[in-house]
Structures are given as structure tokens and as C-alpha cells.
Amino acid sequence: MKSSTFAANATPFAPGRSTVTSGNVTVDLVNRLGFDIVTGRVDQGALLPNEAEMSLAYGVGRSAVREAVKMLAAKGLVNTRPRRGTQVNPTGDWNLLDAEVLFWLRQAPPDRRTIVELIELRLGFEPEAAALAARKGRVARIADIRRAYELMESAGPGTVDPVEADCRFHEAVLAATENRFYQPLGSLVRTALSLTAPVTNALFGHSVGDLEAHRDILVAIEAHDDALAYDRVRRLLRSLVNAVEHAEKLPASSTMTRRA
């Protein structure tokens, strides 16, 4: 990408226009550049302008540009080489589990590949987490899952956000594994749901998560049936993948409602 094109596409700093209010110029610039890269405003493989040109495009000092580029490189978004400059990396090099990268992804239009891959990621660990919860979950932890399910039942306009209730259900399952390494994955599931739920919900025509499927998961865990709990979660997530993969067209974000 040529500098002139970059300058035209870049998101400039201006009073009232910044999407970040950290009060730190470097951090704000990281958010601007990261947003522009992850949402496709700056192409993968593009060479970024030099420090002076970027400083002008974003209205910040050169030192802020240097520090911002270093921070983006740590996230795998760019790489810098002598006499060549800074280049945007392909998505395969991005740290897609980085909290800020995931946040920027949420700002991009719905993308079939991203949605499918996030659900497939959940398929990699959530069925086993449900099985562990069924085998090892303490009474209090399993009661938390039931409360989260009941919250899903009552979710809707004017009450609890459906996706928030859904997140609490899956987080409660992870907590019930009694495994310290599973429990932190709740934040990843929460981010994945925020990206995928509006699309899958619109495809299925539900305003809240699949209550029947979640009830089946709950009942299996309460019965301490680890094989059934594993199967119920796998079936739920597999149905979401199939729906997205076979949809003729993904729904527009403005018309989306939410589902698990």
C-alpha cells in the first residue's frame, strides 16, 4: 500500500473521533493502527509509510509511532526490517488470542471463516470441560450452572442481555471442572460468543441461546453423566458450525440478534 493510500484510509486522531480514551498517545495509536489492520482498512502484506508519513497521517509524534509499531509487532500484526520498513503480517502470524486483537476483530464485518474458526476452537475444549464438570463438579459449582441456565430462561429486552446470560452458563461449566487451567478460558468463550452469537442467532431465529440444548447439557452434568455432557456440548457447537458453513449469506450485523 502506498503512503498516500494509507493516509486516505487511516483513522486520524481528532477531537471527538477517537475510539479510545486512554489519555496515552501511544496506546491510542496502537488502537488506531490495530483497528485499521485487523478490520482490513490496511491490507495484509502492505508496507506502512515511514515514521514521518505515519506521524502526519495520525497526527502524533514520531516517538509514539515507533512505540506503537513495537507493540503491534509483539501482537504479530507487523514486522520491521532494516531498509525495507514495516510490513503488515498475514493473519496466520497474528496473535488471535490477544485481548486487543480479539476486540478489534469484533469491530470488523461478520466473516464466515472467523466465526467458524472461533466455534471450532470452542469445540476443542468445551465438550471435555462439560465432561469434567459432570465427573468432578462440586454441588455448589453445579448449582451455579443451573442458576446461569435460569438466567438464560429469563433473558430478554428489559432484563438480562441474552449473550451475557449465555456467557455465564459456559463460564459456570468451565468453573465446575475444578481445573485451574480451564477456568481462565471463560474470557475466551465470552469473546467468541460476542463475535459469533449475533450471526448464529439470526440464522436460527432465536433471541436467546438454544434453551433446549443448554438444558440438556445442564441435566447431563447434574446426573454426573460425563459422556452425555460431552456429547451434548459437542452437538450444540457442531450445529452452529454447520449452520454458518452452509448459510447462503451471513446476516448483516444491524439485523442480528443473539444466540449461543
What is the residue type of 240? L
Write down the residue that cell numbers 468432578 correspond to: 136
Q: At the topology level of CATH, where does 111-255 sit?
A: Four Helix Bundle (Hemerythrin (Met), subunit A) (1.20.120)
pLDDT at 251: 77
- As a whole number, the mean pLDDT across the chain is 86
Looking at domain 3-93, its CATH class is mainly alpha
| Domain pair 3-93 / 111-255, same fold | no
52 CB-contact burial (10 Å; exposed 0-12 / middle 13-18 / buried 19+): exposed
pTM: 0.78
Residue 226: how many CA atoms within 13 Å on its side-chain side? Answer: 11
Q: Parse the chain into domains and list their residue ranges.
A: 3-93, 111-255
DSSP class per residue in 181-219:
TTGGGHHHHHHHHHHHHHHHHHHHT-SSS-HHHHHHHHH
Q: Tell me the CA distances in angstroms from 143 to 96, 126, 172, one per residue in order.
A: 33, 19, 9
pLDDT 10s digits, 190-240: 989 988 988 888 888 776 678 999 999 999 999 999 999 999 999 999 999
pLDDT 10s digits, 66-98: 999 999 999 999 999 988 899 999 999 999 989
How many other β-carbons are positioned within 10 Å of the β-carbon of residue 94? 22
